[in-house]
Structures are given as C-alpha cells and as structure tokens.
Amino acid sequence: MKLLFQLSIAGLLLASCSNEAPKNMFVSGEISGLKKGKLYLQKMKDTVLISVDSIALLGDSQFELSDYVKSPVLYYLTFDGNTTDKRILFFGGEGNIVINDKVDEFGLNPKITGSANQEKLDKFQAVNKKFNGERLDLIKEELEANQKEDQKALETVQKKYQRLQRRRILYVTNYALSNSDSEVAPYLGLTEMYNANIQLLDTVYNSLSERIKSSDYGKRFKEYISEIKSLDNK
C-alpha cells in the first residue's frame, strides 16, 4: 500500500513537470568583476515585475538563465534584485541570447547579441538619444531665457520644441512602419508614441503583420488604441 502511494505521488510529480512548457530562451554571458552576488531574470506580468529564473554567483562571473517565451517581450537582468539602480533591459525571444557587461558599469553599456528585436531597438535608441540631446539643449535655452525674462526667446524655444516633437514622432512612426513584422513596432507604439494622434497610431497598427498583431505587444497596442478611442468618444 505504501509503495502504491509513493508511486502515485511520483506519477503526479512527473505529470506536473510534463505540463510545464519547455524552456526556449537561454540567456548566458559574463558580468566581468562580479565574484559574489545573485542575478535575476525578470519580466512584467500584468503590472508586476516577476522573477522567472535566478543564479547565485560565487567566484564565477559567468551565468546561464532561461525561460519559456511565448511571445517576445522586454526582460530585465538585475543584480541582487535591484531593479532601480542596476539593471539591463533587453528584448527576449526564442533562442540563445548573450549578454556581457561589467559589474562596476552594470546596465550602462551592455553588449547584447542573439536577439533580432534587440538589434532593431538598439538602432532606434541610437537616433532617439540625439532627439533627447536636442531636448536637453532646449531646456537649457528655456532656463536662460527665463533668467533673462526674455519673452521673445521663450517663444522661440517653444516653437523649436514643437518642431522637435513633430520630427521625433514622425521618426518613431516611420521606424515602426518599416519594422512592421517585428515586435519592436507595437512596443514603440506603446512606449514612444504617447503624444501621437490616433490616425498615426491606427496607421502603425494596421501596418503590422498578422503574426505581430497576435503577439503580446500587438494585442496590448490594439487595446491601447481602443482605450484612446473610447475616451475620445465620451
């Protein structure tokens, strides 16, 4: 009787394990200089950041982490669970992804390979940094104009800022349109087109391939557009 009970428990455990989706994303690499600590692989679930895997490093700076990815989304690689000061944000997806970084510069300039979506996101960010630089320059001009109480200069800065905003949103829109078969497109729609009009949002969504529309970010983007339209109709 005891043996039958043990076999039943073993069978239940095997059944529960077999129901788990097999890992299909493997993240490995090295955090140079990290001799002791813990790395967490995390992602957003609804509105909560959850850990899907972790590894304790004791005298070895190399790591291997994994997860099952149904649809490519953004992941966080955090050091000792710190998601505010030290983190690496990357586009996860099926396959092997390699991340190399330094512990003293963790998250500042990591080298990430193996993710096609990440490559597209990196190209976008390279240009977006230039827009951010121009915005900072305009903030400086605005502060100087305020100090001098120069109303004409303030109006000029405001016009420059409006032109910058239009240029930036057109760049984001065109980049999303040219990458309509990539999860990066709806991701940018959700995170970088917050000040775009509904026509531009619709244009980006309608350009998405059916595969991307059915992806996690594709579904969220559709919901986001629907919410905006419902608010506009009130």
Do 129 and 210 lie in a common domain? yes
Q: Determine the structural domain holding residue 55 and report its residue range.
A: 18-113
Kindly state whether residue 30 falls inside one of the protein's structural domains.
yes
The pLDDT of residue 169: 96
Domain boundary pick from 66, 91, 113: 113
User: Residue 85's pLDDT is what?
Assistant: 67
Question: 25-49: string of b/e by CB count within 10 Å (b at 16+)?
Answer: bebebbbeebeeeebbbbbeeeeee
Residue 154, in any domain of the structure: yes
Give the end of a domain, one of 113, 145, 168.
113
The residue from 73, 98, 113 where one domain ends is 113
148 and 219 share one domain: yes
pLDDT at 15: 46
227 plus 122 within the same structural domain: yes
- The answer to whether 176 and 206 have CB atoms below 8 angstroms apart is no
pLDDT, tens digit (0-9, with 9 covering 90-100), for 76-133: 999 875 545 689 999 999 999 999 999 888 898 999 999 999 999 999 999 999 999 9
Percent above pLDDT 90 for the chain:
75
Per residue in 156-213, pLDDT (tens digit) is 999 999 999 999 999 999 999 999 999 999 999 999 998 899 999 999 999 999 999 9
Query: Three-state SS string across 212-229, please?
Result: HHCCHHHHHHHHHHHHHH
Question: Is the overall model pTM greater than 0.95, yes or no?
Answer: no
At residue 81, the pLDDT reads: 52
Beta bridge partners of residue 89, listed in sequence order:
76
* Claim to verify: residue 30 and residue 90 sit in the same structural domain: yes
Cα–Cα dist 172/170, whole Å = 5
In the chain, the number of structural domains is 2
Contact 45, 115 (CB under 8 A): no
> Tens digits of per-residue pLDDT, 35-65?
788 899 999 988 899 999 999 988 888 999 9
Q: What is the CATH number of the domain that holds 63?
A: 2.60.40
Q: Is the same domain home to 138 and 170? A: yes
Residues 32 and 107 in one domain: yes
Residues of the chain above pLDDT 70, percent: 89
pLDDT-based confidence at 19, cuts 50/70/90?
A: low
